[in-house]
Structure 1
């Protein structure tokens, strides 16, 4: 039994870290080192997109925010039809409900699993809306 345990320990110590591919708005470091995050992170066939914010809860602000998310998806050749999960955080859920048709245009009828949460504030105090996504790459 000692041999098995020691082999297991050796195997655990030699595991390579996961491969991560990052993108951050054209930043050569591919991440924001001041705040400590990357806009996108690809691991295997999954793309994680960090929260994108809007400082206004109006049609223009929601369109800008989802256009930014679309830009993140396009960096990897994906669209909103590859999105499987959306987390939305807002300081005014009722205002966002009124703007849901703007959001839905980006999904073109193919909606992801979604969670909407009203909060008191976001990381940027002036932000009113933040949306993060998880997308999957199609099987090759």
Structure 2
């Protein structure tokens, strides 16, 4: 019986060590998350940022710039910038317009582009949205 209790205590200790610390930011919301839709805009685990999609209702230079300014604000919430982005996922209802106005997107990276996926979809979570971009960023480890 003592061996079983010791084993259970050891399992509980290992489980506790596997928990992660999550820091959250959600558009200056006190709760740091949206409880209605059930998401957070930015979540930081260790030195990684996972940034939920920012959206626009138009795939134009102005609409694309609006999305990337929102993403820039998300990055800045943890002291990061586009130089820290390692992965970008882009979803749009009009991939041809996105290709046409891609320079508006590229300007934010200043020649240092991340791994990227671009997908045309029938619709996004917000019915009026035509573009959504999410990011993963890697922050330098602090000493």
Q: TM-score, structure 2 length as denominator?
A: 0.90
Taking the aligned partners of 2:10 and 2:115, their CA distance within structure 1 comes to 38
Which residue does the alignment assign to 1:120? 122
Where does the alignment leave 5 or more consecutive residues of structure 1 unmatched? none
- TM-aligned CA deviation for residue 99 of structure 1: 1.0
- TM-aligned CA deviation for residue 117 of structure 1: 0.4
Q: Helix, strand or coil for the counterpart of 1:97?
A: helix
* Alignment size in residue pairs: 140
Q: Helix, strand or coil for the counterpart of 1:104?
A: helix
Taking the aligned partners of 1:13 and 1:79, their CA distance within structure 2 comes to 34
- TM-aligned CA deviation for residue 14 of structure 1: 3.6
RMSD (CA atoms): 1.8
Where does the alignment leave 5 or more consecutive residues of structure 2 unmatched? none
- TM-aligned CA deviation for residue 18 of structure 1: 1.1
Taking the aligned partners of 2:113 and 2:51, their CA distance within structure 1 comes to 17
- TM-aligned CA deviation for residue 48 of structure 1: 0.4
Q: Deviations over 1:16-41 (max 9, x none)?
A: 63110000001000000000000000
Which residue does the alignment assign to 1:95? 97
Taking the aligned partners of 2:128 and 2:15, their CA distance within structure 1 comes to 45
Which residue does the alignment assign to 1:35? 37
- TM-aligned CA deviation for residue 76 of structure 1: 1.0
Q: For residues 32 and 3 of structure 1, do their structure 2 counterparts lie closer, same or farther at Cα, with a shift above 3 Å needed?
A: closer
